[in-house]
Structure 1
């Protein structure tokens, strides 16, 4: 599992190409939250897509799929922007600002959808998808999946070393079991038939690295790092977070391509 946007990008692409049913997409989204609601960013788009406008009670994710079909969307792209890297957002605007704040979005031809978690716990809360009209962008060039996998493998070794260097194992009892539980929680997603094995492997490895990084970023129980130490730690881990983002985007792009090709044949 990587993000709600990754799930929607892969499953909606499979559905749009005829390789999955709409109910399959809706079931997959429930890996992230039991309830999802959908709103349009403005009244004109709400009228066009026939979904509620932002600020009102949200519509169902099924309504979003119907809106995607009516809009002529044929494929999807995962974008995971961070400050300094906003590729795939099409410049400044409400969509770009919202996606940057949340850290993820899906671009579907002329539409962009940003998921936002409401409530403290994902599994008991709601994810609200806000749909924006965006320019029909060319797909963002992704790092080839082989290169992304290679970088991620190196990041895995470095991240594991960071846990030792930071003394996380000494500071937290049962850290190995905690890490395994986090990884299991993040890799339980379902994917469409025809999902390429390499993409699955990269998503799995990305989840493992992300779990290690999250653990390394947390303060030890009963204590807190100084501001300077916390900054140094964040700077040291930043390239590893970048490797995870790049790998997830590359894996999703590979999956979308494979699903489109399998349907075409």
Structure 2
């Protein structure tokens, strides 16, 4: 699984629909971090929910309540017949699916992830995971408007085709970048990619998740691992601003394709 928000979205959707147990959801979240807690992201939400406010001091201490409260908050938000669970993966310049000008939106942009639970056009719940340590995760909760018309996801068939092409394009990009850089210190790209992928294999998908959606997520993780290796090899960093801009132009469309495919797969029912 690519992110804590994606894990929470797919498992909460399975739980709310009666296709998995609460313990399955909590076990899936605990794979991300042994220490997790929940707090309000702002004082107004704290007043509405009774959660402690995740002030800077609180976040540093990884305080708040236990993650069981996430189930209660999501169940309450999903009480209406038209309620939805939506993953958001915003980045600067592409904030699709976010409620404009909100505390939740700002936090989700900073974290580059989050999820919304509730009925479009009404007040719902936004949740953003924040890493406060290498193995400590604080789930910040916001009372936030749910956008009335969420951006439609691409069809699964298109997402699967996009990821098949992206595997080839990412491998080509890695090879192209390697030919213009210094070597990687004796460690081959295959080993580096496998190391990047190792963490994703610890995460399970709900049994009720469509098989095609699982394949898309697995392929997206593979492409992301290739791109991460292309970007992070310490001995092969771009040597100039021109080279950095060229790398960005080469890799950015592939990162966008990954995000689009992940959103389509996570929201598949």
User: Scaled by the length of structure 2, what TM-score is found?
Assistant: 0.87
Q: Indicate whether 1:153 and 2:164 are aligned.
A: yes
Confirm whether residue 13 of structure 1 aligns to residue 22 of structure 2: no
Q: Distance in 1 between matches of 2:237 and 2:176?
A: 17
CA drift at 1:224: 5.4
Question: Which residue in 2 is equivalent to 1:204?
Answer: 218
Normalising by structure 1, report the TM-score. Answer: 0.88
In the alignment, is the contact (CA less than 8 A) between 1:40 and 1:130 conserved in 2?
Answer: yes
Contact (CA 8 Å) 2:88, 2:113: kept in 1 or not? yes
Establish whether residue 91 from structure 1 lines up as the match of residue 97 from structure 2: no
Partner of 1:263: none
Please, which of 117, 127, 131 is the counterpart of residue 137 of structure 2?
127
Alpha-carbon distance, 1:114 to partner: 0.8
Q: Residue 165 of structure 1 corresponds to which residue in structure 2?
A: 176
Cα offsets for 1:197-228 (capped at 9, x unmatched): 00100000000000000010124428652222
Contact kept, 8 Å, 1:51 with 1:64, in 2: the verdict is no
* Partner secondary structure for residue 91 of structure 1: coil
Q: Is the 8 A contact 1:217 1:234 kept in 2?
A: no
Question: CA deviation digits over 1:74-129, x for unaligned, max 9?
Answer: 5411110112221111112221111111111111111111111122x3xxx21111
Note if contact 2:213-2:266 (Cα within 8 Å) is conserved in structure 1. yes
Deviation larger for 222-231 or 110-119: 222-231
Q: Which residue of structure 2 lines up, in the alignment, with residue 261 of structure 1?
A: none
CA RMSD of aligned residues (A): 2.0
1:141 is displaced (CA, Å) by 1.0
Structure 2 stretches lacking a partner, 5+ long = 119-123
Matched pairs, number: 251
CA distance, structure 2, for counterparts of residue 219 and residue 180 of structure 1: 14
* Structure 2 SS opposite 1:183: helix
> Hey, what does 1:105 align to over in structure 2?
114
Tell me the alpha carbon deviations over residues 169-224 of structure 1, each in whole angstroms, 9 at most, x when there is no partner. 97222321221122232233112121110010000000000000001012442865
Of stretches 146-155 and 202-211 in structure 1, the one that deviates more from structure 2 is 146-155
**Maintained 8 Å contact 2:92/2:109:** yes
- CA distance in 2 between partners of 1:43 and 1:223 (Å): 42
Residue equivalent to 2:121: none
- Cα distance in 2, alignment partners of residues 70 and 219 from structure 1: 45
- Say yes or no: does 1:61 pair with 2:75: no
CA distance in 1, matches of 2:232, 2:147: 37
CA distance in 2, matches of 1:219, 1:19: 42
Aligned pairs for 1:44-59 (under 5 A) are 44-55=44-55, 56=58, 57-59=63-65
Deviates more, 1:45-54 or 1:158-167: 45-54
- Does structure 1 residue 229 correspond to structure 2 residue 243? yes
